[in-house]
Amino acid sequence: NLPGQHEHAGEEPTARYDVAVLGAGFAGMYMLHTLRQQGWNVHVYETGDDVGGTWYWNRYPGARCDIESLYYSYSFDEEIQQTWEWSEKYAPQPELLQYAGWVADRLDLRRDISFNTTVEHAVWDEDATEWVLETNGGDVIRSRYLVTAVGCLSAARVPDFPGLEHYQGKQYHTSKWPHEGVDFTGQRVAVIGTGSSGIQSIPLIAEQASQLTVFQRTPNFSIPAHNRTLDPAEVARVKADYPSIRAELRLTAGGMIVKNPPTKAALETPEDERRQEFDSRWAEGGLTFLGGFTDTSVDETANAIAAEYVRERIRDIVKDPQTADLLSPKDYPIGAKRLCVDTGYYDTFNRDHVRLVDLRSQPIEEITATGIRAGDEEMEFDAIVFATGFDAMTGPLLKIDIRGVDGVALKDKWAAGPRTYLGVSTAGFPNLFMITGPGSPSVLSNMLVSIEQHVEWISDHLNHLRDHDLQRSEAEVPAEDDWVQHVNDVASVTLMNKAASWYRGANIPGKPRIFMPYVGGVGNYRVHCQKIADSGYQGFVHS
């Protein structure tokens, strides 16, 4: 029996809302505030026991943002952006969580959020023009509209290593970190995974552990953060100019400030000048390292020059040439997997008690009762840290049993990869809106910029329906097909398809290899979405 339409037909629901929102991270919080201000009866459901999403769950040592906090923050409320004080260039997780809680207090959000509540089923009831939701606690909720704010990186994944269930030591996933923290002092610790989470946590775990073994399948390119306390004069300057800076960010490619944006191609720049540019960006640190030239993300030769520059830096830092070599990515373009930003990552491998195991030559055969067997070697560990990432973008949506018109399951519709119109809606699933869904810029941008744009576009859409006495909005198949084609076309102009990245589902065995986010830039995307809105929502059928 399907829940909702069939099982619960005719039943009085536990609650009824105009809009149900799933998730209380930055996206769900702003969606709630916006719709409530506009007079909608809206309610949020959240698995965790407080707001913050990513910053509620990812409490591993070293977790922090890698977009400057002054810009990785809400811009919709002048008082909020003027009042909150960030301590560092890149805020640490506890401060980001505190910020989310502070915003929730100021806007009195928690009274409309059900915490410790996961929505497990969402079934479209065509007769009632409503979604019927069922929670893990068995509550049945009816709402006209359903907005998913479930995040792109919220479905944590531990690979199915043989023997995992027999392991007797402690095990942790970076995104399900114990709230009370973990003390690794004196312990033999394994970290599996060298993506952003591994790269942020490894140097700090190494400070405590008596022995740290890092299991690496694919090396990543990592740029130093050069994190620092914020200078009050700089903060004052930014705050004085916030409205215009934020407006500018909304029209950039990535929603980030790029100092000295590129004007020239690396291939047309003399070598000494090119090196100066890389040196100065390396010294500045952070994600804008690749922002110096116009061709590094589209031309393989230009990209290879940037990649070699980073490999040289790795060789400079890491004393053992063999370890340096293993840490150097060689088989994919720089930027095709998300760049990492670190504090002391490469240098950590100079410490005597830290060892790198290359899983390409020595794969994990088994997790044993006492540790890990990799190749022929058996190693004992008191704790294993899984920094193994997420079932990204589609994972959090497909964990929910979502059924649209005629009971079609979203997981069946997306069996060959996600199909959306503008990354916010999908044909056959009326009145369902996805914040930062696949097919939108989302994870390729400063997410706060993308979240705010989606929240505002979705609420404008709902207000348009209300103003015109309409109750139903559904994406049309041809509009969706065109958008999917466009998302693929734009990705194929870049080098993004040339790495086995989570952007393409490559970290999950069996997941379709489709480049999921929209690489066309938040500025272009925003302009396009606005055009669609101005046209009366072309590509949607309203009734």
Contact stretch for ligand N01 (CB under 6 A) within 17-25, 299-307, 381-389, 420-428: 381-389
Two tokens at 98?
A: 């505190």
Using DSSP's 3-state secondary structure scheme, residue 362 falls into: coil
Please state the closest distance from residue 134 (CB atom) to ligand FAD, in A: 11
Quick one: DSSP state of residue 231?
P
Residue 497 identity: N
Rounded-to-integer distance, Cα 413 and Cα 424, Å = 15
Task: Determine which residue in the list 22, 191, 341, 374 makes contact with ligand N01, applying CB under 6 A.
Answer: 341
Rounded-to-integer distance, Cα 422 and Cα 525, Å = 9
Site membership for ligand FAD, residue 423 (CB under 6 A): no
Please state the closest distance from residue 257 (CB atom) to ligand N01, in A: 16
Please state the closest distance from residue 506 (CB atom) to ligand N01, in A: 7
Please state the closest distance from residue 531 (CB atom) to ligand N01, in A: 29
Site string for ligand FAD, 163-182 (x = CB under 6 A): ------------x-------
Site membership for ligand N01, residue 394 (CB under 6 A): no
Q: By CB under 6 A, what part of segment 469-508 binds ligand N01?
A: 502, 507
Site membership for ligand N01, residue 368 (CB under 6 A): no
Two tokens at 259?
A: 């100092």
Using DSSP's 3-state secondary structure scheme, residue 85 falls into: coil
Which of ligand FAD, ligand N01, none interacts with 341 (beta carbon under 5 to 8 A by kind)? Answer: ligand N01
Q: Where are the beta strands (DSSP E) in 314-437?
A: 340-342, 354-358, 364-367, 371-374, 377-380, 383-386, 401-403, 432-434
Please state the closest distance from residue 382 (CB atom) to ligand N01, in A: 20
Locus of tokens 């744009």:
453
Locus of tokens 């390729």:
444
Which of ligand N01, ligand FAD, none interacts with 222 (beta carbon under 5 to 8 A by kind)? Answer: none
Two tokens at 199?
A: 């790269």
Task: Determine which residue in the list 3, 61, 92, 195 makes contact with ligand N01, applying CB under 6 A.
Answer: 195
For 464-505, give the DSSP string.
Answer: HHHHTT---EEE-HHHHHHHHHHHHHHHHHSSGGGS--GGGT
Site membership for ligand N01, residue 515 (CB under 6 A): no
Task: Determine which residue in the list 32, 35, 67, 140 makes contact with ligand FAD, applying CB under 6 A.
Answer: 67
Find the residue with minimal CB distance to ligand N01: 195
Quick one: DSSP state of residue 345?
H
Site membership for ligand N01, residue 388 (CB under 6 A): yes
Rounded-to-integer distance, Cα 233 and Cα 244, Å = 18
Residue among 197 and 388 whose Cβ is closer to ligand FAD: 197
Site membership for ligand N01, residue 443 (CB under 6 A): yes
Residue among 195 and 255 whose Cβ is closer to ligand N01: 195
Residue 170 identity: K
Give the chain's end-to-end CA distance (angstroms, integer): 29
Which has the closest alpha carbon to 393: 158, 151, 193? 151
Rounded-to-integer distance, Cα 431 and Cα 437, Å = 15
Mark residue 23 as left, alpha or beta (left: phi above 0; alpha: psi -120 to 50; beta: remaining).
left
Task: Determine which residue in the list 73, 323, 343, 446 makes contact with ligand FAD, applying CB under 6 A.
Answer: 446
Residues 6+ positions from 320 with CB-CB distance below 8 Å:
349, 350
Site membership for ligand N01, residue 444 (CB under 6 A): no
Contact stretch for ligand FAD (CB under 6 A) within 9-17, 56-64, 160-168, 460-468: 56-64
Task: Determine which residue in the list 35, 96, 123, 153 makes contact with ligand N01, applying CB under 6 A.
Answer: 153
Two tokens at 214?
A: 């890092």
Residue among 286 and 428 whose Cβ is closer to ligand FAD: 286
Bridge partner list, 366: 373
Site membership for ligand N01, residue 442 (CB under 6 A): no
Tell me, by CB under 6 A, how many residues bind ligand FAD: 36
* Contact residues for ligand N01, defined by CB under 6 A: 65-66, 153, 159, 174, 192-198, 200, 217-218, 338, 341, 359, 387-390, 443, 502, 507
* Contact residues for ligand FAD, defined by CB under 6 A: 22-28, 45-48, 53-54, 56, 58, 63, 65-67, 72, 118-119, 149-151, 153-154, 175, 197, 396, 400, 435-436, 446-447, 451
